[in-house]
Structure 1
Amino acid sequence: MKPFDPRLIRYASATRAYIAFLVGLGLLSTASITAQVFLIAYAVEPIFYGNSPTTARLVLALAGVLLARAAVTYVQKSIGHRAALKVIADLRGQVLRHAGDMGERWLSDGHSPKIVTLATRGLDDLEDYFVKFLPELFLTAIAMPALLLVVAILDWPSALLVAACIPLVPLFMILIGKLTARYSAKRLKTMEEQSAQLLDLLAGLPTLKALGREKGPGAHVKTLGDRFASSTLQTLAVAFLSGAALEFLTTLTTALVAVEVGFRMVGGSILLAHGLILIMLTPEILRPLREVGTQFHASANGVAAVDAALTLLTTPLPTHDDGVTAPDLASTPIKFNGVSMFAEGRATVAPAGLTGVVEPGKVTVLRGPSGAGKTTAVSMLLGLLQPSEGTIRIGSIPLENIDRESLWNQITWVPQRPALIPGTVADNLGASPEEAAQAAALTGFSDVVASLPDGWDTRIGSGGVGLSVGQRQRLALTRALVSPRALVVLDEPSAHLDASSETYVSDVVKELRRRGHTVLVIAHRAAMVALADHVIDVRSGTRDISAELAADAARRRAIEAVNRVLDGEADFAIPAALRNGGTR
Structure 2
Amino acid sequence: MRPLDPRLLRYARATVPYLAGCAGIGTATGVLLLLQAGLLADVVSRAFLGGAGPADVRWTLVLLAAVTFARAALGWLQETVAYEAAARVKSTLRRRLLAHVVALGPTWLTGQRSGALTALAVRGVDALDAYFARYLPQLVLAVTVPVLVLARLLGADPVSAVIVAVTLPLVPVFMALVGLTTQRRSARRWRALAVLAHHFADVVVGLPTLRVFGRARAQAAAVRRVTETYRRESLGALRSAFLSALVLELLTTLSVALVAVGVGLRVVEGRLDLATGLLVLLLAPEAYLPLRRVGAHFHASVDGLAAAEQVFAVLETPLPARGTRPVPDLRTAVLRVEGVTVRVDDRAAPAVDGASFEVRPGEIVALTGPSGCGKSTLLSVLLGFRTPDSGRVRLGDADLGDLDIEAWRGRVGWVPQRPSLVAGTVADNVRLGVPSAADADVLAALREARAAELAPEVPVGDGGGRLSAGQARRVAIARALVRRPDLLLLDEPTAGLDAGTEAAVLHALRRRGVTTLVVAHRPAVLDAADRTVTLGTLVPPVVPLHMALPGDLALDMALPGANRGESGIRPGSAM
Q: State if a TM-score over 0.5 links the two structures.
A: yes
Equivalent residue letter for 2:187: A
**Deviates most, 270-279 or 339-348:** 339-348
Distance 1:422 1:64, change over 3 A: farther
CA distance in 1, matches of 2:538, 2:277: 87
Distance 1:508 1:93, change over 3 A: farther
* 1:21 and 2:18 matched: no
Contact 1:329 1:486 (8 Å CA) reproduced: yes
Report Cα offsets for 1:472-527 as digits up to 9, x if no partner. 655554443443543333344444666676577446534643xxx43333344455
CA distance in 1, matches of 2:158, 2:410: 68
- For residue 97 of structure 2, what is the aligned residue in structure 1? 95
CA distance in 1, matches of 2:146, 2:519: 66
Q: CA deviation at 1:105?
A: 4.4
Equivalent residue letter for 1:336: V
Distance 1:263 1:440, change over 3 A: same
Distance 1:344 1:536, change over 3 A: same
**Deviates most, 275-284 or 201-210:** 201-210
Contact 1:351 1:541 (8 Å CA) reproduced: no
Distance 1:496 1:30, change over 3 A: farther
Rg larger in structure: 2
Residues 27-176 of structure 1 mapped to structure 2, 5 A cutoff: 27-49=27-49, 50-51=51-52, 52-109=54-111, 114-176=116-178
From 248, 251, 258, the equivalent of 2:250 is 248
Q: CA deviation at 1:321?
A: 5.3
Report Cα offsets for 1:195-254 as digits up to 9, x if no partner. 343444455545444443333344333222211111111110111111111111222222
- For residue 363 of structure 2, what is the aligned residue in structure 1? 362
Q: CA deviation at 1:410?
A: 2.7
Q: CA deviation at 1:130?
A: 1.2
* SS across alignment from 2:218: coil
- For residue 399 of structure 1, what is the aligned residue in structure 2? 400
Distance 1:344 1:466, change over 3 A: closer
Q: CA deviation at 1:468?
A: 4.6
* 1:533 and 2:524 matched: no
Q: CA deviation at 1:442?
A: 4.3
Q: CA deviation at 1:451?
A: 4.3
CA distance in 2, matches of 1:231, 1:444: 54
- For residue 410 of structure 1, what is the aligned residue in structure 2? 411
Equivalent residue letter for 2:174: F
Equivalent residue letter for 1:14: A
Q: CA deviation at 1:98?
A: 3.4
- For residue 483 of structure 1, what is the aligned residue in structure 2? 483
* SS across alignment from 1:13: coil
Contact 2:333 2:361 (8 Å CA) reproduced: yes
- For residue 547 of structure 1, what is the aligned residue in structure 2? none
CA distance in 1, matches of 2:56, 2:414: 78
Residues 60-459 of structure 1 mapped to structure 2, 5 A cutoff: 60-109=62-111, 114-202=116-204, 204-318=206-320, 320=321, 322-344=323-345, 346=347, 349-415=350-416, 416-418=418-420, 420=422, 425=428, 428=432, 429-443=435-449, 448-449=454-455, 451-452=457-458
Q: CA deviation at 1:332?
A: 2.0
Q: CA RMSD in A?
A: 3.5
Equivalent residue letter for 1:535: T
Report Cα offsets for 1:258-304 as digits up to 9, x if no partner. 22222233334434333222212222121111111111111112111
Report Cα offsets for 1:389-410 as digits up to 9, x if no partner. 4332222333334442342333
Equivalent residue letter for 2:86: A
**Deviates most, 247-256 or 263-272:** 263-272
**Deviates most, 392-401 or 153-162:** 392-401
* SS across alignment from 2:262: helix
Distance 1:58 1:442, change over 3 A: farther
Equivalent residue letter for 1:3: P
From 508, 515, 518, the equivalent of 2:515 is 518
* SS across alignment from 1:390: strand
CA distance in 1, matches of 2:28, 2:448: 65
CA distance in 2, matches of 1:399, 1:42: 79
Equivalent residue letter for 2:333: T
CA distance in 2, matches of 1:315, 1:285: 42
Equivalent residue letter for 1:536: V
* SS across alignment from 1:82: helix
- For residue 581 of structure 1, what is the aligned residue in structure 2? none
* SS across alignment from 1:418: coil
Distance 1:508 1:153, change over 3 A: farther
Report Cα offsets for 1:424-464 as digits up to 9, x if no partner. 949743134444454455446675446459xxxxxx999xx
CA distance in 2, matches of 1:448, 1:392: 38
**Deviates most, 182-191 or 334-343:** 334-343
**Deviates most, 7-16 or 117-126:** 117-126
Contact 1:369 1:539 (8 Å CA) reproduced: yes
Distance 1:31 1:330, change over 3 A: farther
Equivalent residue letter for 2:436: G
* SS across alignment from 1:299: helix
Report Cα offsets for 1:71-101 as digits up to 9, x if no partner. 3333333332332233233323333443444
5+ residue gaps, structure 1, are 454-459, 543-584
Distance 1:472 1:286, change over 3 A: farther
Contact 1:366 1:537 (8 Å CA) reproduced: yes
Equivalent residue letter for 1:181: Q
CA distance in 1, matches of 2:155, 2:265: 20
Equivalent residue letter for 2:401: E
Contact 1:113 1:195 (8 Å CA) reproduced: yes
Percent of counterpart pairs with the same letter?
36
Equivalent residue letter for 2:518: V
Contact 1:420 1:472 (8 Å CA) reproduced: no
CA distance in 1, matches of 2:95, 2:499: 39
Q: CA deviation at 1:8?
A: 1.3
**Deviates most, 397-406 or 153-162:** 397-406
Equivalent residue letter for 1:37: A
* SS across alignment from 1:376: helix
Q: TM-score scaled to structure 2, two decimals?
A: 0.81
* SS across alignment from 2:356: strand
Distance 1:278 1:497, change over 3 A: farther
Contact 1:101 1:384 (8 Å CA) reproduced: no
Distance 1:54 1:335, change over 3 A: farther
**Deviates most, 266-275 or 241-250:** 266-275
Contact 1:148 1:285 (8 Å CA) reproduced: yes
5+ residue gaps, structure 2, are 540-575
* SS across alignment from 1:387: coil
* SS across alignment from 1:535: strand
Distance 1:136 1:412, change over 3 A: farther
Equivalent residue letter for 1:149: A
